[in-house]
Amino acid sequence: MYDVEHVRRDFPILERQVNGWRLNYLDNAATSQKPRAVIEALAKYYEQYNANVHRGLHTLAEEATIAYERSRGRLAAFISAESPNTIAFTRNTTEAINLIAYAWGRRTLKPGDEVILSVMEHHSNIVPWQMMAGETGAVLRFIDIDDEGQLDQAQYHEMLGPRTKLVSIMQVSNVLGTINPVKQMAKDAHDHGALMLVDAAQSVPNMPVNVQDLDCDFMAFSSHKMMGPTGIGALYGKLEHMEPMGPFMGGGEMIREVTLERTTWNDLPWRFEAGTPNIADAVALLPAVDYLNELGLENIRQHEVELTRHALKKIGGIEGVTIYGPPKAEDRGGVVAFTMGNVHPHDIGTALDQYGIAIRAGHHCAQPLHRRLGIGATARASFYAYTTMSEIDQLADALVKTQEFFARRTRPTAV
Amino acid sequence: MSLDALDALYKEVILDHYQNPRNMAPLSEPTVATDGFNPVCGDQVHLELAVENGAITGISLHGKGCAISQSSASMMTEAIMGMPIDDADGLAKAFRDYMTGHDATPARDLGDLEVLDGVRKFPVRVKCATLGWNTLQEALKEFRAGLKTGNVVIKDGEKPQALP
């Protein structure tokens, strides 16, 4: 296990003051903070070897290309992908899912084919499929959740059938914290001849993820949630599926030969990387991967379980608070979404900000989930490797003070 | 005390409107009905207006959301009752411009609405304060476009939520 105080010193932003208080950053599911090594790598790229990749003959171009491809390789190893060619850089998780919807979905799905999603999915794993279903005539099915925020596996098995072509599920919910059994769900999908896409945005940064073990066909995740820079993410795809896929965006880099009449496509993965890529942020992602490996993903996971256990107890112990998702910390990722009596999440957010505490309030890009839960909005605290127990204590204290603030100024309403 | 700064935002009048929103009873014959929704955060309002001889003679508003959005909308219903629609439009514009900091002082006398001036110090909450007013301007635009309906107007394919 690592020393959290020691780790915090690597993150310059954690020294910030907000409204006279030290920043208490509990919005990691929205984005993570970056260690100095990542920030310096970004500057160093622009200071020393910025050049366009893949085409150049000069030294800088060679150095940039090597750094860019080295980052791809490190990312592939990070998730135990079988080859760097299985990793296509994208802008983020959303773009990776859209890539599959366009390059695979639109060309493969026929009217009546089925794609299985769930009611807890992030909009990025719903909207591209709605758009694609509209164009192809494919049908979307949504697995429901139970009272503890677990997917209804019995319903899933009922849904699976000869028409199922794809199952696309988030590994960890960014609201409920539910950790879905995607390995088993992938197997079930394969038993019915369907492919499995895992939305790993909320899992790759926080726990060991091994695509060989999961045996998923596609996986999507983002750099900015895993201590890396914004603007870069990745799609993993088994070579056997990516090989026959036509391109996503067209342009330079993704071609082999271009004539006025026709064009042949480049090999994987560059076929899916049109135009000049986000070289700088791809390069700066590498030290983030190294940093996570140094801390150890199992250690980060363990740390988050302890934080979550503490949070469930302290926040759950406040009168009027309802926490959503599975009751046990071991069954959850490090996000805690809750409501607090009559104080609306927005008002909670504004109050907590007065204490320098950053949480998120709203529907967290999961409107269907909130509708399913019968609520308009939740407040959400989410943790990461550098979060401390005392930050959670501070959160709990501030919530109590917030509750008192509003209670003092309003008459009690009949419940 | 750290939450003192919030006193400027959450004045008693505001929280009173939050707890006891005015003008909730549905209209028997609304001239126009509109839903407002803040997709960023989930605040929503359902607004009905009765318009006769170019003036607002009836209002019904109910919604779900944070203290600022709901109380601002409730205060709006009191402010515009009986107003000619051009006047109500002008008030909405003056309120929005003042909230967004576009105007340093309100373009016209906002009356009781001045109590919301604390929102100016919390820019992230401006969208909450203006939700009801944006919805009002939408409703008046629809009215002017000649939409007269006894039924609820569906916006963006979203049915208004049934409230508990």
- Please answer yes or no on whether A377 and B41 come within 8 Å at the CB atom: yes
Per-residue pLDDT, B150: 40
pLDDT reading at B158 higher than 50: no
Average pLDDT rounded to a whole number, residues B22-32: 91
Mark yes or no for CB contact B3/A413 under 8 Å. no
**Are B6 and A350 an interchain contact pair (Cβ–Cβ within 8 Å)?**
yes
Contact between chains at A346 and B19 (C-beta distance less than 8 A)? no
Cα–Cα distance, A98 to A108 (Å, whole number): 14
Positions of A annotated as catalytic residues are 365
Taking residues B98-104, what's their average pLDDT? 86
Mark out the alpha helices in A20-144 (DSSP H runs).
36-44, 59-78, 93-100, 106-108, 127-136
Q: Is the pLDDT of residue A172 over 60?
A: yes
Task: Confirm if A233 and A95 have CB atoms less than 8 A apart.
Answer: yes
Do domains A4-30+297-409 and A38-293 share one topology? The answer is no
Q: Which residues of B26-56 are buried (b: 16+ CB within 10 A; e: fewer)?
A: ebeebbbbbbbbbeebbbbbbbbbbbeeebb
The confidence score (pLDDT) of residue B149 equals 46
pLDDT band at residue A415 under the 50/70/90 scheme: very low
User: Tens of pLDDT along A226-265?
Assistant: 999 999 999 999 999 999 999 999 998 898 889 999 888 9
Task: Report CB contact under 8 Å: A351, B3.
Answer: yes
Residue holding tokens 């082999």? Answer: A256
- Residue B144: predicted pLDDT: 86
Chains A and B form CB pairs within 8 A to the count of: 71
**B65 reaches A (C-beta below 8 A):** yes
Architecture of domain B2-144 in this structure: Alpha-Beta Complex (3.90)
- A143-164 average pLDDT score: 98
| Mean predicted confidence (pLDDT) in B113-132 | 92
Nearest CB among A20, A351, A362 relative to B41 is that of: A362
Interface test with B, best of A130, A339, A347 (most B CBs within 10 A): A347
Q: H-helix or E-strand containing B47?
A: strand B43-52
pLDDT of amino acid B135: 96
d(CA A37, CA A21): 26
- Is the model's pLDDT at B163 over the cut of 60? no
Domain-wise residue ranges, chain B: 2-144
* pLDDT 10s digits, A88-99: 999 999 999 999
Give the integer Cα–Cα distance in Å for A165 and A239: 18
Query: Given this model, what pLDDT does residue B153 score?
Result: 41
Q: Which residue of B has its CA nearest to A368?
A: B42
A411: contact with B, CB 8 A cutoff: yes
Interface check for A402 against chain B (CB to CB < 8 A): the answer is yes
Q: Domain spans of chain A?
A: 4-30+297-409, 38-293
Which parts of A196-296 fold into alpha helices (H)? 211-214, 239-242, 279-295
ipTM of the complex: 0.81
Q: Which residues of B touch A401 (CB under 8 A)?
A: 2-3
More confident call, A252 vs A42: A42
- Model confidence at B164: pLDDT above 60: no
| Range with the poorest average pLDDT among A129-143, A228-242, A389-403, B111-125 | B111-125
* pLDDT at A412 (0 to 100): 60
Q: For testing the chain A interface, which of B1, B3, B16, B71 should be mutated: the one with the most A CBs within 10 Å?
A: B3
Question: Residues in chain A, how many?
Answer: 415
User: From residue B27, how far is each of A259, B32, B51 by CA, in Å?
Assistant: 67, 10, 11
In eight-state DSSP terms, residue A83 is -
Indicate the range of A21-35, A133-147, A339-353, B140-154 predicted with least confidence: B140-154
B5 vs A contacts (CB less than 8 Å): 19, 354
Question: So what's the pLDDT on residue B33?
Answer: 92
Provide the mean pLDDT of chain A.
96
Tell me, yes or no, if the pTM score tops 0.80.
yes
Distance from CA of A399 to the nearest CA of B (A): 11
Report whether CATH 3.40.50.2300 matches the domain A38-293: no
pLDDT value for A396: 98
Percent of chain A with pLDDT over 70: 99
Phi first, then psi: what are they for B58, rounded to 5°? -155, 145
Q: Choosing among B66, B71, B130, B159, which should be mutated to test the A contact, i.e. which has the most A CBs within 10 A?
A: B66
User: In angstroms, what is the C-alpha Rg of chain B?
Assistant: 15
What's the mean per-residue pLDDT of chain B? 86
- Chain B residue with minimum CA distance to A410: B15
B6/chain A closest Cα distance in angstroms: 7
Q: Tell me yes or no: is domain A4-30+297-409 CATH 3.90.1150.10.
A: yes
Q: What size, in residues, is chain B? A: 164
Confidence band (pLDDT; 50, 70, 90) for A55?
confident
pLDDT tens figures, B60-78:
999 999 999 999 999 999 9
β-pairing, A233-237 vs A218-222, is: antiparallel
DSSP string of B60-121, one letter each residue: EEEEES-HHHHHHHHHHHHHHTT-BHHHHHHHHHHHHHHHTTSSSS-SS--GGGGGGGGGGG
- Whether A265 and A246 have beta carbons less than 8 Å apart is answered as yes
